[in-house]
Amino acid sequence: MKPASFRAQTLAALCGLLTLPAAHAADMRNGGRIYNVHCAGCHGADGRSVMPEAPNFARGEKLMQSDVALLSAMRIGRGAMPGYVGILSDREILDVVSFLRTLR
Ligand code: HEC
């Protein structure tokens, strides 16, 4: 193999690696749309909760957790909050989680 084509192949492989996570990154805009429909009623459009027991995302409440921990809370539900299994896919929940992190 000529050095030039080897370099090109290595470069192509590296680009593939770099774009892979991007292709799977959460879609924050989609998360925002879902939030407005399913979450804003209790957590407030801007993250300032309208329900006393609901965490205030504008103050970052409950957001010091991994995406996976938040995903699991959302799937199962918490207190007055319903579980979202069968309503939102894991993909959609992770989109919402990425949106929650923008509300601070
Ligand atoms: C019916 C009102 C209601 C709706 C709708 C609702 N929530 Fe909640 N949510 C709550 C309440 C109340 C709590 C606090 C529950 C508790 O700790 O007892 C909570 C807790 C949470 C928490 C913290 C979980 C934890 O680890 O304690 C997250 C994250 C969250 N909600 C996100 C969302 C998202 C995202 C949506 C929309 C998909 C949503 N909620 C919809 C009322 C609601």
Q: What is the DSSP letter of 27?
A: -
pTM: 0.84
Instruction: Give 31-70 as a DSSP string.
Output: HHHHHHHHTHHHH-TTS--SSTTS--GGGTTT-SS-HHHH
Is 98 a residue whose pLDDT tops 70? Answer: yes
71 pLDDT band, cuts 50/70/90, is: very high
Closest residue by CA, ligand 1 atom 34: 39
Q: How much is the average pLDDT of 76-84?
A: 97
The matching CATH number, chosen from 1.20.810.10, 1.10.760.10, 2.60.40.3080, 1.25.40.10, for 25-100 is 1.10.760.10
The residue extents of the domains of the chain are 25-100
For 5-64, the pLDDT digits (tens) are: 777 777 666 666 555 555 568 999 999 999 999 999 999 999 999 999 999 999 999 999
The Å distance, Cα 55 to ligand 1 centre, comes to: 7
